[in-house]
Amino acid sequence: PTASETAQSVLVQAQGDNAGLLTPTRNQDRLESAPAVSALVAANPVVQAVAGARGLFYGRDEHGAPVIAVINAIVQSPWLLVSTIEVEEAFGGAAQRELLVLSLPVSVALLVAGLLLGGWQWRARRRESALKDKLAQNMQWLESAQKAALVGYYVYERAGDAFTLSPMAGELFGLPAETPVARVQWLAQVHPEDRPQVLAALDDALRARKALRVQYRVVDGRNERWLDMWGEHDAPSVNARMTGTVQDITERQLAEAKLGRYRAALEALVRQDPMTGVANRRALTEALASEWQRAARSNDPLSVLMIDVDHFKAFNDRYGHLAGDDCLRKVAKALTRTATRATDLVARYGGEEFAVLLPGTGRAEALAIADKLRLAVRKLALVHAASGVASVVTISVGVATLQVRSDGRVRPGTQVGAERECEELLHRADQALYAAKEAGRDAVVAYAEPLSESAEAGSAEGPTPSPPPPRST
């Protein structure tokens, strides 16, 4: 008896080439006769036992099932003990154990791999979440920086002829953000005076595939803003997009305009006499050089008047410096009111001396204007008890004129360079002023030009000769 379902043991005795069973098999209750197993069934362990096989070997039972057999001879008898068990039963548990042993490390490996994969995925999710948070933070910083700098960005799709604006760019243009905006709709926001320039710049950039840079105004309701627009193509293809930025430069434009006004005002102050408000000597020198060049090109006459307030030192000594300053201001105002042409320039030359530049004015007309100036100062009726000329403030005027020659040259033209020519003209006006003083003051005297060409030619090669006695009007 055994717990095995297939194990059995039988006694066998040889019957010729066949094998005879002496005990019943597992499936028989008793042996009614000694059955014989044919020798033709060579794989049967009983036949192999009769054939001389001993020990442990494989075979097949009477049902053809593979078995493991053990054959032993019984000492001092012709009997043989044959024990068999089916292979499946014998090794079934071992196979399961082997499978279990083999599956254990595989399961452990799979478990470890799963844990590693799960850990990697967890870390990847954490990293992805951290990157998303960082990206959101950077985008928030970028949006804050754009708002602080008033900078937005845009994308122009050439195929769709439409703009896509960032929130800040949409706010600057007064258009919806992050949705396609047709170019016509975008162009409608541009100031009407700037639209041709902006459209030409955009078309030129698209046609030549070059960077876009243009400044223009946009109108949103009643608000007018200056924008600086920059863009470039992101690929060489024909339908490539143009990406760029747009910045509000209104404050910069206003500051530059204000700075320009300040600069102009400063330039004016640099060329203005602070006490009298008329031009100063520097402004006179620059204007004289410019007008001399114009006269040389157009053959127009050019005259200069040198003016001196008569006995001004005596006026200061008698009435004081404050009264003297007020006197100069009133004289300057009278001169300005009289020399009213747009090209006329009244300047304070220094101290109590003034100069008047008269472009396009010949000698006779200059003399007439000079006399009008003299009379205008007399009409001020500024009391001057210390004057030896009159009871009121008077002026003396010297006149010098560039005369146009028949050959198209101007004179005095004997010195080299515009600067020396201008100095010569001022010098002659000053000499005429000196002659007016010598003639008794409150007078107008014109510089007497040399009458002969030989005398003029002589002055070109040597020092300027002393002028003849001036004539007083």
Q: Assign residue 424 the CATH number of its domain.
A: 3.30.70.270
Q: Determine the pLDDT at residue 309.
A: 96
Q: Cα–Cα distance between 380 and 338 in angstroms, integer?
A: 12
pLDDT digit string (tens) for the chain, length 473 residues? 567 778 888 888 888 778 788 888 777 766 666 567 776 677 888 888 888 888 888 888 877 888 888 888 888 888 888 888 888 877 776 666 777 777 778 888 888 888 899 889 988 988 888 888 888 777 777 667 666 667 888 888 888 889 998 888 888 888 888 788 898 888 888 999 999 999 999 889 888 888 899 999 998 777 788 999 999 887 666 567 888 988 888 888 888 888 888 888 877 778 899 899 999 999 999 999 999 988 888 888 999 999 999 999 999 999 999 999 999 999 999 999 999 999 999 999 999 999 999 999 999 999 999 999 999 999 999 999 999 899 999 999 999 998 645 344 555 444 446 788 889 999 999 999 999 999 999 999 999 764 333 333 333 333 333 333 443 44
Q: Determine the pLDDT at residue 142.
A: 67
> In sequence order, which residues have a C-beta less than 8 Å from that of residue 218 and are 6 or more positions away?
172, 173, 174, 189, 190, 191, 224, 225, 227
Are residue 197 and residue 168 in the same domain, yes or no? yes
- Final residue in a domain of this structure, among 90, 112, 142: 90
Q: How far is CA 250 from CA 253, 255, 257, 281, 329, in A?
A: 5, 8, 11, 39, 42
Q: Determine the pLDDT at residue 238.
A: 59
Are residue 168 and residue 41 in the same domain, yes or no? no
Residue of 49, 36, 40, 41 whose CA lies nearest to 9:
49
207 lies in some domain? yes
Q: Helix or strand or coil: residue 109?
A: helix
Q: Determine the pLDDT at residue 31.
A: 64
Q: Determine the pLDDT at residue 454.
A: 33
Q: Determine the pLDDT at residue 318.
A: 93
Q: Determine the pLDDT at residue 46.
A: 82
- Beta-carbon count within 10 A of 425 CB: 23
Strand order in the sheet with 36-37: 36-37, 18-21, 8-15, 80-86, 66-73, 55-60
Are residue 175 and residue 74 in the same domain, yes or no? no
> In sequence order, which residues have a C-beta less than 8 Å from that of residue 336 and are 6 or more positions away?
278, 346
- As a whole number of Å, the end-to-end CA separation of the chain is 170
162 lies in some domain? yes
- Final residue in a domain of this structure, among 43, 71, 90: 90
- Final residue in a domain of this structure, among 226, 254, 282: 254
117 lies in some domain? no
Q: Determine the pLDDT at residue 415.
A: 40
Are residue 225 and residue 277 in the same domain, yes or no? no
Are residue 409 and residue 279 in the same domain, yes or no? yes
Global pTM value: 0.49
Are residue 291 and residue 324 in the same domain, yes or no? yes
Residue of 228, 231, 247, 230 whose CA lies nearest to 171:
247
Q: Cα–Cα distance between 412 and 64 in angstroms, integer?
A: 148
Are residue 221 and residue 308 in the same domain, yes or no? no
Q: Determine the pLDDT at residue 417.
A: 61
Q: How far is CA 152 from CA 148, 386, 471, in A?
A: 11, 75, 76
Q: Determine the pLDDT at residue 467.
A: 39
Q: Does residue 293 contact residue 303 with C-beta atoms inside 8 Å?
A: no
Q: Does residue 295 contact residue 338 with C-beta atoms inside 8 Å?
A: no
Are residue 177 and residue 76 in the same domain, yes or no? no
Count structural domains, the chain: 3
- Beta-carbon count within 10 A of 54 CB: 12
- Beta-carbon count within 10 A of 446 CB: 26
Are residue 279 and residue 180 in the same domain, yes or no? no
Helix 363-379 vs helix 321-338: crossing angle, to nearest 10: 140
Q: Determine the pLDDT at residue 237.
A: 64
Domain membership of residue 12 as a residue range = 8-90
